Chains A and B, each alone.
Chain A
Amino acid sequence: GAVVSQHPSRVICKSGTSVKIECRSLDFQATTMFWYRQFPKQSLMLMATSNEGSKATYEQGVEKDKFLINHASLTLSTLTVTSAHPEDSSFYICSARVVGQSNEKLFFGSGTQLSVL
């Protein structure tokens, strides 16, 4: 089946540094990419939606200048956490939407655990 490759799976960084997370669709073209995050014991929360070649749409309460999303091609989307702080420590996961002939499908990456010291 279709695969979304997400890297890195785990990253530890110092406060104030920036971290880039990549999601690649390996054998299909993703028209839309969704980015979620999950704090411990809480739900996965949608952060933003990005369509290839256009600016991302952020959910209420998500800082667009802090969480930079780039979706420059149909197979690659990146999330950059700028000037990370300990409160940004979370599990981040992407999902790609594919529009087929008869239906739409979603495929998820395996997630990135970010720890900011």
Chain B
Amino acid sequence: GDSVTQMEGPVTLSEEAFLTINCTYTATGYPSLFWYVQYPGEGLQLLLKATKADDKGSNKGFEATYRKETTSFHLEKGSVQVSDSAVYFCALSGAGGTSYGKLTFGQGTILTVHP
């Protein structure tokens, strides 16, 4: 079945540091890939997504590129801020409209950014 392997945390960085959170996946066909973020006390929010190979999703300074050859979707940000402290989840959705919403998640990575 489908699976997502995410870089284990927690990750602790200083403000303005470069961030990479690794994510690799196993899936049949051509899944859509997502990064979700959960701030303390809030629900998961979609951060960015990519629906086909070589697509780059980007939002709020975060980027991730759908790499089919390496089955990866690593999250990057050039300069993190304290407000980026949250839990980040990599996820995939199987191909086909009826499976949209049935997400397979990684285990989440806790990011803490210090001033």
Give the interface of A toward B (CB within 8 A).
Answer: 4, 6, 9, 32, 34, 36, 38, 41-46, 49, 93, 95, 97, 104-111
- Determine whether the beta carbon of A110 is less than 8 Å from that of B41: yes
Q: Name the residue of chain B whose CB is nearest to the CB of A34.
A: B101
Beyond A97-B100, A104-B100, whether A44 also contacts B105 by CB under 8 A is: yes
Beyond A43-B105, A44-B105, whether A93 also contacts B100 by CB under 8 A is: no
A105 to B44, CA, bound (A): 13
Q: Is B107 part of the binding interface, using a Cβ–Cβ cutoff of 8 Å?
A: yes
User: Interface of chain A, helix or strand or loop or mixed?
Assistant: strand
Give the interface of B toward A (CB within 8 A).
Answer: 4, 36, 38, 41-46, 89, 97, 100-108
- Determine whether the beta carbon of B107 is less than 8 Å from that of A95: no
- Determine whether the beta carbon of A110 is less than 8 Å from that of B102: no
Beyond A6-B43, A108-B44, A110-B41, whether A42 also contacts B103 by CB under 8 A is: no
A104 to B4, CA, bound (A): 22
- Determine whether the beta carbon of A95 is less than 8 Å from that of B100: no
Contacts of A6 in B (CB 8 A): 43
Q: Name the residue of chain A whose CB is nearest to the CB of B99.
A: A49
From A6, A106, A107, residue with most partner B Cβ within 10 Å = A106
Q: Name the residue of chain B whose CB is nearest to the CB of A99.
A: B100
A108 to B43, CA, bound (A): 5
A4 to B45, CA, bound (A): 11
Contacts of B106 in A (CB 8 A): 43
- Determine whether the beta carbon of B43 is less than 8 Å from that of A4: yes
A46 to B105, CA, bound (A): 9
Contacts of A36 in B (CB 8 A): 105
A44 to B108, CA, bound (A): 8
Beyond A41-B107, A43-B107, A110-B41, whether A49 also contacts B102 by CB under 8 A is: yes
